[in-house]
Every structure is written in structure tokens, then in C-alpha cells.
């Protein structure tokens, strides 16, 4: 029941066995052909409508190999429309009339009725739907090929980014037929980034031909295709195997360092999420001693605030996210003050009752969100500057949303620390925490300080929610997944100590990420939990013992 895609295998001209499937070899030929074409015949002439029709008709098949050949024929033809056809085919917007011979380009495929134009003349052809036009389908292999074809068509032309993309595709694809064309291309190229890629592509080809001198160019290159080719050569009995192995060892060594750097980044970013979630709790639980089980729901409220502001500002996720920072703080802070005024202040000094009461509040808040919004998750969009990754090199790239959360966490921590250290409120909070009776006798209004402190802790939880909306699902259960971790971090770090929370959160994050590849996500969490329990047995006051604490 499997349809095997037979591709003809051509004898390979290289002396060293090369890793790669039949498909890849096929692409090599195509790439070479097109590089040559792009250089030799950049001027395109009109083709007759009959010829255009024939070219498009060849695409009308269910066999993806035949479709690939048809696409190749189009790219090699003189048709002026060829780039637009290939792009439309890539987007799934090149279509055939169901009962007829005409071909269309769908200009907008949202909704159920699409505006279409004639693929050959570009004349307006009204609208079509799935019942009247049939869009050509492509699969992954064909998609890769089309991207290559379109990139190759613009290798000689195009802007720098397109040329760079095309040049990158050439690595490992250069062969005897295309080597001259690529060399010419290298001579004409001005951009140093594109030159570097072309040089790598040429060097790899020469190395595969057994040229030792070219090995030097590849030294320290982190591209996986270079590494894979060198691995194959090093394991073969080619005369340059030993030299290749030496270069390869250098590459592997360099990679290992970058990989450690990446694990550290993953750990710190996972840790920053923990710190953000826990730092509000470090204030309410650590400083005030209130066991607030509704802390997670305050985080959730911050996340929902982000979603609501995004609904109010459609199309501007970046602005909405920035506005959500004060917004989330105020909303969660207001709820915090409400909880403190209405419940917690009446339960002062009765931790068990506080725990039960705040647990009840957490259930109420969850149900409130379910009723007001819906039990379904809400989608919070990420602005462009939080999508994708920052590519430092081939081996190390930092995802931007995680990097954003890490920076945000450090900023929030610094602000909070400064607040506690340098402001009057901070001074009063510390005074009330250390000795409530003495502080009151010095004229500090302890009740007001309690209220503001709890509001501050809740507001910071709201900030955590804003950040979490960028990396996890926003739903009624969001808070539940963070409440246990938050308590863990605060207890591990040392109750009542902001620095402890930071160090504890970051180290738990790193330990978790280091363990995860070995033992899996579930077991890593279990090991961390057991580790913290054992640590607390040995050192009940946590990592950083607060000095002068009486209890």
C-alpha cells in the first residue's frame, strides 16, 4: 500500500561517496542547470500561448515526480511568466479549471470564493471556488525544489538576501557541471557574506574531489552539510581521510562549546520564567508570610489582560504588549488589593485558614474567567520582534521570545530590588517584616503597608502573566501549572530574600535543562523536586538565610 517514488539514479562523478538521496542528486542537476541558465540567458522572451498552455498542462498530474519535471521545464523555458507561475505553485495558488482547459492564479485564497486571474494573460477571470477550480498540490520534496528553482532564478539577479539564500543552497550541491558557473558567480559577487557561502560551496566540492588545500577553507565551518560530508570522507579510505578527520575534530570541538552555551541559555530562560512567576510570591509569602494559593490566578489575570488589550488594538501586537505591561500590573495589583482588604487581613496569623481561603479564591477566579471569557484557550499574538531567532552562527541561535522573557525578568527583578532598597515603601515593608510592633510604634501604618505590599506582589504576578502569554497557552488553567513551581523556588531560595529567589529560579532552570535530554521532561522534574526536598531537610532556611529573622 505504499507508493514508492522511483527516481532515476545517475552515476556520480565524485570520487568520495557522498551522503544524499536520489532526490538530492536530482536537485543538484537542477541547481547546476539553473545557475548556468541564470548566467547565460538572463533575457527572457515571450512564448506563444500554446507553448505556455503546454508547459502548464504538464503540471496537471497526480505523480509528484512528473510534476517536478514539469516545474523544471517551466524554469528552463523562456516564458516571461515563469517566476510568477512557480511562486503561485509554491503558494498553492496555481489552479486548473475543473471542467475546462484554462489555468488560473488565485490572487487571494482566504474565504470560500476566491478572485482569480488567467495564468497566461493575467486577465481578470472573476471568482472561483473549490468546486470550480482545482489548485495544484505540492509536497515537501517539490516545495524544496521550487524554492531552489526560484532562488536560482534570482541568483545572478535579486537582492543580497535572495542571493545569500541561493548561495547557501549551493553548499554540497556543486558538481562538475556547475563548478565553472559558480566560480564565475564568485568573481562577480560583491557581498562578502555571499562570497563566503560560495567559497564554502566550492571548497567542499574540491575536498570531495580529494583536494587537501581546500580543507583549510572549511576549518571551523559549522554548517551541518560540511560536517556531514567531512564525516563521510574521514570514515572512507580516501587519501585525505586523516586530514579531514583533523579538521572535523576542530569543528566538533567548536560545536561542543556552542552547544554548552545553548544549554546554558535554555536553562537561564527556563529559570527566568520560574523567577518571574515566583518573585511576586517572594514578596507576599517571603516578606509578608501570607500563603497565597491564588498567586497563579493573578498570573493568569495578567495574561488575560494582555489578550484583552490585543483585542482592543487589532493588528498592533507590539504596542498592545507594551501597554499590557502597566495594564497587567494594575489589573492583577487591583485584584491583589481587593483580596487583601476583603479576606487576608482578617486572617492575619492564621496560616492554615489563609491557605484554604486563598485556595477558594483561586477556584473562584478560574471559574470567573471560564464564565466571562470561555473555557477555551485564548490566542495571544507575538509581535514580529519576538518571533524567530537571533542566529549568532550555524551552531548557536537564541530564540527571541525566550530572550525577551529573560531580559524582562532581569529588568523586573532590578526594579523590584531598587524599590525595596531605596524607596520609603521598601523601607517600611522591611521594617514591618522585621518587627511589626516596633515599626508601628515608630509611626509606620502597618495595615497600609500590608495592603500595598500585597498589591505589589500581585502586580508583579500580573507582569509574569504578560511575559508568559508569549511562551505558553493562555487559558483558565494557566496559573495552576506555575503555583507549585513558584513555592518551590521561594522555599529553595530562602524565604524573604529576593536574591535567593533569583539564584534559586535560575539554578533550578539550568539543572532542569541539563537533566532533560538525559532523563526526559517528566523525570527531570521529579529529580529536581526530590533534590530540593533533600536540600531543605539539610538546610531548612533555604539557599540564602535571612539575617535576624526570628522565627
Partner 1 sequence: MNKISTTTALLLSMGIALPAAAQEDDTIRVGILHSLSGTMAISESTLKDEMLMLIEEQNEKGGLLGKKLEPVVMDPASDWSRYAEQARDMLTGDDQVDVIFGGWTSASRKAVLPVVEEENGLLFYPVQYEGEESSENIFYTGAAPNQQAIPAVDYLRSQGVERWALLGTDYVYPRTTNKILEAYLKDHGVADEDIMVNYTPFGFSNWQSIVSDVADFGSQGKKTAVVSTINGDANVPFYTELSNQGISASDIPVVAFSVGEQELSGIDTGPLVGHMAAWNYFMSVDSDANYDFIDNWVEFTGDDMAVTNDPMEAHYIGFNMWLEAVREAGTADVDAVKDSIIGVTVPNLSGGSSAMMPNHHITKPVMIGEIQDDGQFSVVWETSGNVAGDAWSDYLPESQNLISDWRAPLRCGKLNVESMTCEDGAGAE
CB of 484 to partner 1, least distance (A): 13
- Shortest distance in whole angstroms from residue 391 CB to partner 1: 8
Alpha-carbon distances of 203 from 29, 42, 181, 207, rounded to whole Å? 19, 27, 14, 6
Burial class (CB in 10 A: 0-12, 13-18, 19+), 46: exposed
Least Å distance, CB 134 to partner 1, is 7
- State the SS3 of 179-227: HHHHHHHHHHCCCHHHHHHHHHHHHHHHHHCCCCCCHHHHCCCCCHHHH
CA gap 380, 310 in Å, rounded? 7
User: Shortest distance, CB of residue 137 to partner 1, whole angstroms?
Assistant: 5
Distance CA 515, CA 263 (A): 10
> In the complex, what is the shortest distance from the CB of residue 14 to partner 1, in angstroms, rounded to a whole number?
16
Q: How far is the CB of 186 from partner 1 (least distance, A)?
A: 26
Shortest distance, position 442 Cβ to partner 1, whole Å: 46
Which CB atom, from 143 or from 350, has the smaller least distance to partner 1? Answer: 143
Cell numbers for 200 = 564554502
CB nearer to partner 1: give 46 or 252: 252
Closer of 53 and 397 to partner 1 (Cβ) = 397
Using CB atoms within 10 Å of the CB of residue 521, give its burial: 0 to 12 exposed, 13 to 18 middle, 19+ buried: exposed
* Gap between the Cα atoms of 76 and 30, Å rounded: 9
Which residue lies nearer to partner 1 by CB, 200 or 381? 381
Q: Give the H or E element holding residue 116.
A: strand 114-118
Closer CB to partner 1, residue 127 or residue 147?
147
> Rounded to whole angstroms, what are the CA distances from 375 to 366, 372, 380, 478?
9, 9, 15, 12
Contacts of 397 (CB under 8 A, 6+ apart): 389, 390, 391
CB of 138 to partner 1, least distance (A): 8
- Judged by beta carbon, residue 433 or residue 486, the one nearer partner 1 is 486
Tell me the residue length of the chain: 551
Q: In sequence order, which residues have a C-beta less than 8 Å from that of residue 401 and are 6 or more positions away? A: 382, 386, 387, 470, 471
Give the binding site for partner 1 (CB under 8 A). Answer: 1-5, 19, 21-23, 64, 91-92, 109-112, 130-131, 134, 137-141, 143-144, 147, 224, 227-228, 231-232, 259, 262-263, 266, 269-270, 273, 370, 375-377, 379, 381, 387-389, 391, 397, 399-402, 471-473, 475, 477, 481, 513, 516-517, 520-522, 525
Which DSSP category does 93 fall into? -
Of 79 and 506, nearer to partner 1 (C-beta) is 506
Task: Between 227 and 335, name the residue whose CB sits nearer to partner 1.
Answer: 227
Amino acid at each position: 500500500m505504499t507508493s514508492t517514488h522511483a527516481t532515476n539514479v545517475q552515476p556520480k562523478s565524485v570520487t568520495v561517496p557522498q551522503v544524499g538521496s536520489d532526490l538530492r542528486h536530482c536537485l543538484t542537476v537542477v541547481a547546476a542547470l539553473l545557475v548556468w541558465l541564470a548566467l547565460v540567458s538572463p533575457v527572457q522572451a515571450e512564448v506563444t500561448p500554446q507553448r505556455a498552455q503546454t508547459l502548464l498542462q504538464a503540471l496537471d498530474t497526480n505523480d509528484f515526480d512528473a510534476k517536478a519535471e514539469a516545474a523544471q521545464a517551466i524554469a528552463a523555458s523562456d516564458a516571461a511568466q515563469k517566476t510568477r507561475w512557480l511562486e503561485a505553485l509554491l503558494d498553492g495558488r496555481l489552479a486548473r479549471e475543473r471542467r475546462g482547459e484554462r489555468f488560473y492564479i488565485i490572487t487571494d485564497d482566504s474565504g470560500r470564493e476566491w478572485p482569480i486571474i488567467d495564468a497566461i494573460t493575467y486577465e481578470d477571470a472573476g471568482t472561483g471556488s473549490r468546486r470550480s477550480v482545482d489548485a495544484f498540490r505540492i509536497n515537501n520534496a517539490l516545495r524544496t525544489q521550487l524554492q531552489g528553482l526560484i532562488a536560482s532564478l534570482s541568483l545572478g539577479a535579486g537582492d543580497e538576501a535572495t542571493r545569500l539564500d541561493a548561495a547557501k543552497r549551493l553548499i554540497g550541491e556543486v558538481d562538475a557541471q556547475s563548478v565553472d558557473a559558480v566560480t564565475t558567480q564568485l568573481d562577480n559577487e560583491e557581498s562578502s557574506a555571499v562570497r563566503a557561502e560560495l567559497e564554502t560551496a566550492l571548497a567542499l566540492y574540491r575536498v570531495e574531489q580529494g583536494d587537501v588545500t581546500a580543507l583549510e577553507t572549511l576549518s571551523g565551518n559549522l554548517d551541518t552539510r560540511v560536517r556531514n560530508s567531512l564525516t563521510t570522507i574521514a570514515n572512507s579510505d580516501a587519501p585525505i581521510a586523516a586530514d579531514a578527520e583533523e579538521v572535523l575534530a576542530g569543528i566538533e570541538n567548536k560545536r561542543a562549546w556552542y552547544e554548552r552555551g545553548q544549554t546554558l541559555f535554555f536553562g537561564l530562560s527556563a529559570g527566568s520564567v520560574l523567577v518571574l512567576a515566583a518573585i511576586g510570591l517572594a514578596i507576599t509569602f517571603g516578606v509578608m508570610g501570607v500563603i497565597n494559593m491564588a498567586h497563579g490566578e493573578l498570573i493568569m489575570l495578567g495574561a488575560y489582560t494582555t489578550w484583552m488589550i490585543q483585542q482592543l488594538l487589532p493588528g498592533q501586537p507590539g504596542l498592545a504588549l507594551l501597554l499590557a505591561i502597566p495594564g497587567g500590573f494594575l489589573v492583577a495589583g487591583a485584584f491583589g488589593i481587593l483580596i487583601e482588604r476583603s479576606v487576608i487581613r482578617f486572617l492575619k496569623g492564621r496560616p492554615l485558614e489563609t491557605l484554604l481561603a486563598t485556595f477558594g479564591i483561586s477556584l473562584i477566579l478560574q471559574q470567573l474567567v471560564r464564565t466571562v471569557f470561555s473555557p477555551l484557550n485564548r490566542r495571544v499574538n507575538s509581535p514580529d520582534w519576538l518571533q524567530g531567532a537571533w542566529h549568532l552562527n550555524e551552531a548557536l541561535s537564541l530564540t527571541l521570545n525566550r530572550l525577551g522573557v529573560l531580559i524582562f525578568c532581569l529588568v523586573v527583578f532590578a526594579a523590584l530590588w531598587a524599590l525595596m532598597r531605596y524607596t520609603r515603601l521598601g523601607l517600611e515593608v522591611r521594617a514591618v517584616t522585621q518587627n511589626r510592633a516596633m515599626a508601628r510604634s515608630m509611626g509606620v501604618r502597618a495595615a497600609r503597608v500590608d495592603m500595598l505590599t500585597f498589591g505589589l506582589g500581585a502586580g508583579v504576578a500580573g507582569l509574569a502573566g504578560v511575559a508568559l502569554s508569549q511562551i505558553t497557552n493562555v487559558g483558565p488553567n494557566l496559573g495552576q501549572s506555575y503555583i507549585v513551581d513558584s513555592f518551590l523556588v521561594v522555599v529553595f531560595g530562602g524565604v524573604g530574600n529576593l536574591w535567593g529567589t533569583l539564584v534559586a529560579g535560575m539554578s533550578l532552570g539550568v539543572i532542569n535543562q541539563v537533566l532533560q535530554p538525559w532523563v526526559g521532561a517528566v523525570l527531570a522534574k521529579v529529580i529536581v523536586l526530590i533534590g530540593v526536598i533533600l536540600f531543605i531537610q539539610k538546610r531548612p532556611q533555604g539557599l540564602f538565610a535571612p539575617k535576624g529573622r526570628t522565627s
